[in-house]
Amino acid sequence: MKLSEREIIGQGFRYPIELHEDFQGLSEKLNSLPKVSKVYVLTSREIAGIYEKYITKELSSLNVPFSFIYLKPGEKNKHIDRVKKVYNQLIETDADRKAVVIAFGGGVVGDFAGFIAATYQRGVRFVQVPTTLLACVDSSVGGKVAVNVDSGKNMVGAFYQPEFVFAPLFTLSTLPEKEWSCGLAEIAKHAFLDGGDFLDKISKSKRSDFSANSPILRYAIEESVRVKSGIVSQDEKETGLRAVLNLGHTTGHAIESLTQYKKYSHGEAVAVGLVTALLLSRELVGFSESNFQRAITLMKQLELPTRLEEKPDEILKHMEHDKKKEGTSLKFVLLEDFGKPKFGVSVERKNIFEILKRQKGKL
Ligand code: NAD
Ligand code: GLY
């Protein structure tokens, strides 16, 4: 059953982002796409292990054949080295330009399958069927697709929008606790960027209120999609405004790469990075003490990590590998107020170091 729908409209693209209870209706939507030759479901064995039988039942109503291509799970397999094998599988099964790729999984599958779709035969259509909270609120929306190379994450990719996003929310019922943190961190980020009723309502919730079929979860996904769509509609290719979606990511990426993508999931690292951005915002651009306390309280209610456990100088070293480096300063997204982000703020190395030191203590 369809629960809600929002449309994202940008320059040269327009597509719906639909929240559904389960897979019912997916075939009907695929059947409505013009001239489809075959549907390929790109997913991981982990996800297929739980949900293949359900999606297969739904896809049996398709007007065209479909088959599965299994990807190895995990960030390390969202890698350029894995791409060739999938191209070969498509070629060997005569996939033509009228084929449609379904990215069925979390952000790793979404980014990888989207990259395949963007590049196979110069681009075939694709559909996002997100199964993690992070993918529902963030990675399935907005058309960033990418793979990693040995020297860095998401270094090769494209802006390539799906035909539609179809989120079957019942799949979130099997999501591990750590993965809830990832999605909740991105929800907190969107609420800080938006302010207003979204932040007010989320602030009244605690982590245990969020479950696969809770009203607050659905509300938070709908609002996150509204916030992200509103930004992407204005600046698909991140020439400016879209950068605000990187709130918390400068420290987040540094933590992930320093700990070799093992200790923290993406969202947990972003949560710690959000706190760095909040501390810097209070110090440098007038974000008030009461706003700061409110943001930290919300993150604690959501049971997100806030304290920095790594050494500040090592975090700084990893930040400096980041493309945002500029002389003795680094670029950050900061908040003047809730709903009032500022991107491209140059922050001196010594200020970052002091803030990171503070973040190691009690907040
Ligand atoms: P993920 O895709 O690795 O999924 C996390 C884990 O949960 C995996 O082990 C997966 O197999 C498992 N899983 C997925 N759905 C499940 C379900 N319903 N039940 C049980 N287990 C399930 O991680 P993620 O957090 O979804 O995505 C992270 C990736 O997203 C990163 O590569 C990041 O760079 C990318 N990302 C992209 C964008 C974008 O705009 N394109 C935005 C944010 C993050
Ligand atoms: N996740 C950041 C973006 O989509 O721009």
Domain boundaries, the chain: 2-174, 193-359
Does residue 81 carry a pLDDT above 90? yes
What is the pLDDT, as a whole number, of residue 358?
95
Confidence of residue 323 (pLDDT cuts 50, 70, 90): low
What is the pLDDT, as a whole number, of residue 362?
79
> Bigger pLDDT: 100 or 213?
100
Question: 245: Cβ below 6 Å to ligand 2?
Answer: yes
Does residue 208 carry a pLDDT above 80? yes
Mutate to test the pocket of ligand 2, among 108, 182, 245, 253 (most ligand atoms within 8 A of CB): 245
Query: In this structure, are strands 39-44 and 100-105 parallel, antiparallel, or unpaired?
Result: parallel
- The CA-based dihedral angle spanning residues 63, 118, 186, 318, taken in that order and rounded to the nearest 10 degrees: 150
Whole-Å CA distances, 288 to 86, 201, 294, 356: 50, 20, 10, 19
Mutate to test the pocket of ligand 1, among 134, 153, 181 (most ligand atoms within 8 A of CB): 134
- The CA-based dihedral angle spanning residues 130, 135, 139, 143, taken in that order and rounded to the nearest 10 degrees: 20
Q: Which position has the token pair 């980014």?
A: 111
Backbone angles phi, psi at 67, to 5 degrees: -150, 165
Backbone angles phi, psi at 44, to 5 degrees: -105, 160
Question: 270: Cβ below 6 Å to ligand 2?
Answer: no
Q: Which of 272, 248, 251, 249 is nearest to 314 (CA)?
A: 251
Query: Is 131 marked as binding a ligand?
Result: yes
Residue partners of 143: CB distance under 8 A and separation at least 6: 13, 114, 159, 160, 161, 162, 232, 236
Query: pLDDT tens, 27-44?
Result: 999 999 999 999 999 999
Does residue 14 carry a pLDDT above 60? yes
What is the pLDDT, as a whole number, of residue 320?
86
Confidence of residue 361 (pLDDT cuts 50, 70, 90): confident
pTM, two decimals, is 0.96
What is the pLDDT, as a whole number, of residue 195?
96
Q: Measuring from atom 33 of ligand 1, which residue has the nearest CA?
A: 107
What is the pLDDT, as a whole number, of residue 77?
95
> For residue 134, how far is its CA from the centre of ligand 1 (angstroms)?
6
CATH number of 2-174: 3.40.50.1970
What is the pLDDT, as a whole number, of residue 175?
97
Q: At what angle do helices 196-203 and 289-301 cross, to 10 degrees?
A: 50
Catalytic entry in 20, 38, 189, 249: 249
DSSP output for 24-76: TTHHHHHHTSSS---EEEEEEHHHHHHHHHHHHHHHTT-SS-EEEEEE--SGG
Spatial strand order in the sheet of 329-337: 325-326, 329-337, 340-348
Does residue 265 carry a pLDDT above 90? no
Query: pLDDT tens, 332-355?
Result: 999 999 999 999 999 999 999 999
Residue 142, classified by CB atoms within 10 Å of its CB into exposed (0-12), middle (13-18) or buried (19+), is: buried
Query: pLDDT tens, 272-313?
Result: 999 999 999 999 999 999 999 999 999 999 999 999 999 999
What is the pLDDT, as a whole number, of residue 247?
98
Mean pLDDT of the chain: 95
The predicted model gives 43-59 an average pLDDT of: 97
Cβ contact 218:19 at 8 Å: yes
Q: What is the DSSP letter of 141?
A: S
What is the pLDDT, as a whole number, of residue 266?
87
CA 328 – CA 350 distance, rounded (Å): 9
What is the pLDDT, as a whole number, of residue 262?
85
What is the pLDDT, as a whole number, of residue 325?
53
Does residue 324 carry a pLDDT above 60? no
The predicted model gives 146-168 an average pLDDT of: 96
What is the pLDDT, as a whole number, of residue 322?
62
Does residue 147 carry a pLDDT above 60? yes
The predicted model gives 81-104 an average pLDDT of: 98
The predicted model gives 76-98 an average pLDDT of: 97
Q: Which of 323, 305, 311 is nearest to 259 (CA)?
A: 311
Query: pLDDT tens, 93-132?
Result: 999 999 999 999 999 999 999 999 999 999 999 999 999 9
Q: Which helix (H) or strand (E) holds 344?
A: strand 340-348
Does residue 198 carry a pLDDT above 90? yes
> For residue 236, how far is its CA from the centre of ligand 2 (angstroms)?
10
Spatial strand order in the sheet of 2-10: 2-10, 13-20, 165-168, 125-130, 100-105, 39-44, 66-71
Is 193-359 a domain of CATH 1.20.1090.10? yes
